């Protein structure tokens, strides 16, 4: 595999780690805080086993960091630059939605 191909593979794998609604919700929940698995289970409303799977994926991708205090594991955002990745995506989606609303409004006038 050429170096260029490897770089694209690494980028694609990183973006895949973001490609799940629950993972995006976890990132948003942890935006300005650290939280335990138990706190996130209650706040997000998911099963612990499912949450743990997605936390592991985000940690392996380098998006989250974790620390253990006795039997409790706490998670936090490892690098806030992740929000510099997510903000432009949200902006693109806002523009797309606005365009769609314009098309729907136009169709309503026909």
Which pLDDT belongs to residue 107? 73
Arithmetic mean of pLDDT, 103-108: 74
Residue-wise pLDDT for 26-72, tens only, equals 999 999 999 999 999 999 999 999 999 999 999 999 999 999 999 99
Which pLDDT belongs to residue 110? 56
Which pLDDT belongs to residue 59? 97
What pTM was computed for the model? 0.84
CA distance 69 to 48: 18
Residue-wise pLDDT for 4-32, tens only, equals 899 999 999 999 999 999 999 999 999 99
CA distance 47 to 9: 31
């Amino acid at each position: 595999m050429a170096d260029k191909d490897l770089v694209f593979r690494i980028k694609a794998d990183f973006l895949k780690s973001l490609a799940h609604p629950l993972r995006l919700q976890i990132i948003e929940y942890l935006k300005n805080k650290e939280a335990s698995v138990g706190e996130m289970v209650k706040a997000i409303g998911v099963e612990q086993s499912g949450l743990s799977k997605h936390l592991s994926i985000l940690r392996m991708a380098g998006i989250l960091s974790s620390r253990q205090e006795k039997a409790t594991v706490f998670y936090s955002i490892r690098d806030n630059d992740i929000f510099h990745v997510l903000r432009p995506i949200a902006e693109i989606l806002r523009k797309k939605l606005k365009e769609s609303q314009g098309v729907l409004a136009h169709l309503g006038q026909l």
